[in-house]
């Protein structure tokens, strides 16, 4: 009977008007914190996008949301009478244990924050990260996802990303096309340069400024290597490079300018050379020992 009485008393305390009021206030603190976390996160996201940082918007939004939500959770627990000192101590021990077990994850989060400050790229930028080339589609605290041109998604941990060489193809509005062209040694270089410049001048995607150029780069084994350099708007890069390459070949053929095949000059020596005489063995002078006769 005493046990039943104690249970009844405890239930009465839990569902007393004062306790219900405490629960309602704690719930309101959590709900208001959750709403505030979402509002602040959206504000940070909007601000970072106005600054031109999609990467900062993605990471900053999540950091602000979880920090504010954590503070609201602590406030709700305090309202319920939970001693935060013991909770924080337990959380500290738990965090240390998790930290040892998940050092890579922590390192990725820290690297993500460094990337947020450095801002080497934004979402929708076309980048080259080591051997991976594609468009950045998502940035998280732990990793960055890149969609390649053959429609694969590559997940790159932020720690590895921070140590990698990153090439951003989207940062500037114009890009330069470099096309190597080999011509025969008998070619009039002035005429070849004139033909190649005319090809660039006739292409609608090639910009007038910076001015296109044709440079002599190398005296190679089979011909003279020229480099065609043209500037185009970033969006036209791939198409313009393909069209210019085809137009260059057709223009050189029309101008009777030879594009040489790889070749080598080989000198033949006719007749079999006489075998070298074998070196003479050095003469050896051997003196025989004379017998000694004792008398």
Selection from 68-82, 110-124, 155-169, 241-255 with the highest mean pLDDT: 241-255
pLDDT of residue 127: 94
Q: Parallel, antiparallel, or unpaired: how do β-strands 224-233 and 174-183 relate?
A: antiparallel
CATH class name, domain 174-254 = alpha beta
Q: How far is CA 51 from CA 62, 118, 176, 291, in A?
A: 17, 14, 27, 111
**pLDDT reading at 102 higher than 60:** no
DSSP at 77: H
CATH class name, domain 2-101 = mainly alpha
Tell me phi and psi for residue 134, to 5 degrees: 175, -165
Per residue in 164-195, pLDDT (tens digit) is 899 999 989 999 999 999 999 999 999 999 99
**pLDDT reading at 284 higher than 60:** no
DSSP at 80: T
Cα–Cα distance between 151 and 140 in angstroms, integer? Answer: 20
In 15-83, which residue ranges form alpha helices assigned H by DSSP?
A: 17-50, 54-79
- The residue count of the chain comes to 295
At CA 29, angle to CA 65 and CA 86, rounded to 5? Answer: 85
For the chain, give every domain's residue range.
2-101, 120-168, 174-254
**pLDDT reading at 291 higher than 50:** no
Share of the chain above pLDDT 90, in %: 38
- Taking each helix axis from N to C end, the angle separating 54-79 and 103-118, rounded to the nearest 10 degrees, works out to 130
Which carries the bigger pLDDT value, residue 191 or residue 46? Answer: 191
pLDDT of residue 3: 52
CATH class name, domain 120-168 = mainly beta
Give the residue-averaged pLDDT of 137-160.
90
Which carries the bigger pLDDT value, residue 73 or residue 225? Answer: 225
Whether residue 204 is preceded by a cis peptide bond, meaning omega within 30 degrees of 0, is no
Q: Are 155 and 143 in contact (CB under 8 A)?
A: yes
State the chain's mean pLDDT as an integer. Answer: 80
Tell me phi and psi for residue 204, to 5 degrees: -70, -25
171's tokens: 């940062």
Give the residue-averaged pLDDT of 88-114.
64
pLDDT of residue 286: 45
Q: pLDDT grade, residue 146 (50/70/90)?
A: very high
For the whole model, what pTM was predicted? 0.57
Beta bridge partners of 127: 134, 168
Q: Parallel, antiparallel, or unpaired: how do β-strands 132-139 and 213-219 relate?
A: unpaired
Q: pLDDT grade, residue 237 (50/70/90)?
A: very high
Cα–Cα distance between 10 and 57 in angstroms, integer? Answer: 49
Share of the chain above pLDDT 70, in %: 74
pLDDT of residue 251: 96
């Amino acid at each position: 009977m005493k046990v039943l009485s104690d249970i009844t008393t405890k239930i009465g305390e839990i569902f007393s008007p004062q306790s219900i009021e405490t629960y309602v206030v704690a719930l309101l603190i959590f709900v208001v914190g959750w709403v505030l976390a979402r509002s602040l996160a959206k504000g940070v996201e909007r601000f970072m996008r106005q600054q031109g940082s999609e990467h900062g918007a993605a990471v900053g939004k999540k950091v602000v949301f979880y920090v504010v939500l954590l503070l609201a959770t602590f406030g709700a627990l305090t309202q319920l009478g939970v001693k935060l000192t013991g909770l924080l101590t337990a959380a500290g021990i738990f965090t240390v244990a998790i930290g040892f077990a998940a050092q890579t994850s922590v390192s990725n989060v820290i690297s993500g924050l460094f990337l947020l400050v450095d801002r080497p790229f934004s979402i929708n930028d076309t980048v080259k990260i080591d051997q991976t080339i594609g468009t950045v589609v998502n940035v998280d605290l732990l990793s960055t996802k890149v969609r390649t041109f053959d429609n694969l998604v590559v997940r790159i941990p932020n720690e590895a990303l921070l140590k990698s060489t990153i090439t951003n193809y989207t940062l500037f509005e114009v890009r330069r096309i470099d096309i190597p062209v080999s011509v025969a040694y008998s070619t009039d270089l002035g005429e070849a340069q004139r033909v190649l410049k005319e090809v660039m001048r006739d292409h609608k995607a090639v910009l007038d400024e910076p001015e296109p150029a044709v440079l002599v780069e190398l005296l190679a084994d089979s011909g003279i290597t020229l480099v065609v350099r043209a500037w185009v708007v970033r969006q036209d890069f791939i198409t313009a490079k393909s069209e210019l390459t085809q137009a260059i070949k057709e223009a050189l053929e029309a101008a009777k300018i030879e594009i040489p095949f790889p070749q080598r000059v080989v000198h033949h020596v006719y007749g079999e050379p006489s075998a070298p005489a074998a070196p003479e063995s050095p003469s050896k002078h051997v003196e025989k020992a004379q017998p000694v006769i004792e008398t």
